[in-house]
Amino acid sequence: MKHFPFLLWMPLLLLTNCSVHPKKPFDATRIPATPNYSELENWASHPDKTDLADRTPAGLSDEQATTAVDVFFLYPTTYTGSKRSEKNWNAAVDDEKVNKKTDESSILFQASIFNGAGRVFAPRYRQAHLHVFFCQKDTTSPREALDLAYSDVKAAFKYYLEHWNQGRPFIIAGHSQGARHAMLLIREMIENQPLADQLVAGYIVGWPVKDNFFSQCKPCATPEETGCFCSWRTWERKYGLRKAYESNVVCTNPLIWSLEEGQYAEKAFNSGAVIRPFNTLRPQMTDAEVYKGVLLARKPKFPGSVLLVRKNYHIGDFNLYYLNVRENAQTRAKMFMQAKK
């Protein structure tokens, strides 16, 4: 599977979920061990270790050693079910197979976006199984599994604040399940708290954020605004025009950083997508337009794209707009630091 373009991974991951998933209700007495965040092995990315978030596509450079900002990154679901394992409600943080999958997908292709803006911290957490998003009969177990995952995220953030932050500004970024935890983290621990003064921006991507979810933290309305958040979910354009309906969900256009519906950004605005191979930037991969709570994008063309038949481009939310997001994070970090002088 590692030779498939990044955007083709999600259909394969979803197929693995059909037969291998939790069969019994969530049991708090049978959960994986609680991670100790003083141990670097419990961080998928950390400034004190060499990891895949340190990588950059050709022509870019890792700026973590010189930046004054931090990034707290939360990866999406990689605990998806396999023929012989991954059948519990939550993953163990020392599961080597899941960690390898996480690192070679999300940490490399998503967390690395932010190494131009800040030091990247990405905690391993007892992520909930992909099945929690498809389970219809039992609604309690998925909620408990997600709550357990979020408890790790919160503990990791607290440890980061106590031991490594030292008053530095930070970006909160997450995708999919990670975005779900990121929005809760911002609402519970940052907005309406002294920490709000350190928030450069949030990138809550691949999860719907209702326009009334936060009481103080607002959607970013311009490319330079700070103390705000951006959010989008990417659908194939024609499909989205037929199916999108959630006008009360925040959606940011990551090519022009506008919230306005109907402001079309052609693919010429796309500075570069990153799929496989990682070191290659692909300018003008696709376009973007906000429409009823989702981001519309024309089908991207790349080697193997004929196999991309899904109309939800969820797995590419960040990667279709890799360089635009990277440059925007750098811009917001710069504006934040200038305002503090």
Q: What is the secondary structure of 257-307 as a DSSP string? A: TB--TT--B-GGG---B--SSTT--BTT---BEEETTEEEEPPP--TTGGG
Question: Bridge partners of 55?
Answer: none
The C-alpha atoms of residue 335 and residue 246 are separated, in whole angstroms, by 32
- Domain interval for residue 117: 6-340
Q: How confident is the model at residue 248 (pLDDT cuts 50, 70, 90)?
A: very high
The C-alpha atoms of residue 258 and residue 63 are separated, in whole angstroms, by 27
- pLDDT tens string 214-224: 999 999 999 99
If we measure between CA atoms, which residue out of 1, 104, 2, 5 comes closest to residue 320? 5
Q: How confident is the model at residue 309 (pLDDT cuts 50, 70, 90)?
A: confident
Whether the per-residue pLDDT at 6 is higher than 60: the answer is no
Establish if 190 belongs to a structural domain.
yes
The C-alpha atoms of residue 301 and residue 284 are separated, in whole angstroms, by 10
- pLDDT tens string 171-211: 999 999 999 999 999 999 999 999 999 999 999 999 999 99
pLDDT value of position 304? 78
Of 160 and 135, the structure prediction assigns the larger pLDDT to 160
Establish if 316 belongs to a structural domain.
yes
- pLDDT tens string 98-147: 999 999 999 999 999 999 999 999 999 999 999 999 887 888 999 999 99
Looking at the structure of the chain, the number of domains it has is: 1
Global confidence as pTM: 0.94
Query: What single-letter DSSP state applies at residue 24?
Result: S
Establish if 109 belongs to a structural domain.
yes
pLDDT value of position 245? 96
pLDDT value of position 11? 41
Establish if 1 belongs to a structural domain.
no
Establish if 120 belongs to a structural domain.
yes
Establish if 165 belongs to a structural domain.
yes
Establish if 55 belongs to a structural domain.
yes
Establish if 26 belongs to a structural domain.
yes
